Chain A
Amino acid sequence: SAVISQKPSRDICQRGTSLTIQCQVDSQVTMMFWYRQQPGQSLTLIATANQGSEATYESGFVIDKFPISRPNLTFSTLTVSNMSPEDSSIYLCSVDVSETQYFGPGTRLLVL
């Protein structure tokens, strides 16, 4: 498995601002994933981040809104840009270890 941490654990932000979420894993992994979980909903993949290449975004998500960095094999960031109340969600990062995904504790974001 893997031990994954995320910062911040929660935040309250004003609309129009941006928030960067950090994800740190305790071992080197090739693929990292960012998911969004809107209130009362299931998880939806935002993008897949591989070290050394551009992130791959799912339909409905764009780089301008959710820029991702992957500077090394243990770290990634997701930025939620120009936030609106509709961005209020839990954002989770996950890593792939032996064909199984393990998740971080999530970042709970509230946009006012």
Chain B
Amino acid sequence: AQTVTQSQPEMSVQEAETVTLSCTYDTSESDYYLFWYKQPPSRQMILVIRQEAYKQQNATENRFSVNFQKAAKSFSLKISDSQLGDAAMYFCAYRRPPWEGAQKLVFGQGTRLTINP
């Protein structure tokens, strides 16, 4: 079974600086999807970024980018120019491709990010 591990329960960063959140996963499959979701105090789960395993290029969404290392099964999230609104729980998630059957997301334990003004 696939597992996702986030080894940093909490992280903090100064406003306007850069922070990297770590995620590792375990799978025997070659094709899959990886995601980062953000959950602010409102509890809404918000998609931050998505990466397809077959793509070598790292995904980027504005101030958010990933470092996807397939061989190492590592998928870290970098937040540049941190803003107060980035404060939230961040969850890393794994999903099998559609032709492999079950489409559920497997989540890591989460990292609570605090932004210091």
Using a CB–CB cutoff of 8 Å, the interface residues on chain A facing chain B are 1, 31, 33, 37, 41-45, 48, 56, 58, 90, 92, 94, 96, 99-103, 105-106, 108
Contact = CB atoms under 8 A, between A and B. Distances in A.
A37 B98 CA distance: 25
Given A42-B108, A58-B104, A100 B43 contact: no
Contacts of B33: 99-100
Contacts of B108: 42
Contact of A42 (B42, B43, B109): B109
A99 B95 contact: yes
B102 A105 contact: no
Given A42-B110, A99-B95, A100-B50, A105 B44 contact: yes
Contact of B103 (A41, A43, A96, A103): A96
B35 interface: yes
B47 interface: yes
A33 B93 CA distance: 15
B37 to A, nearest CB: 8
A43 B106 CA distance: 8
Interface in B42-75: 42-47, 50
B43 A105 contact: yes
A11 B104 CA distance: 27
Contacts of B107: 42-44
Contacts of B91: 42-43
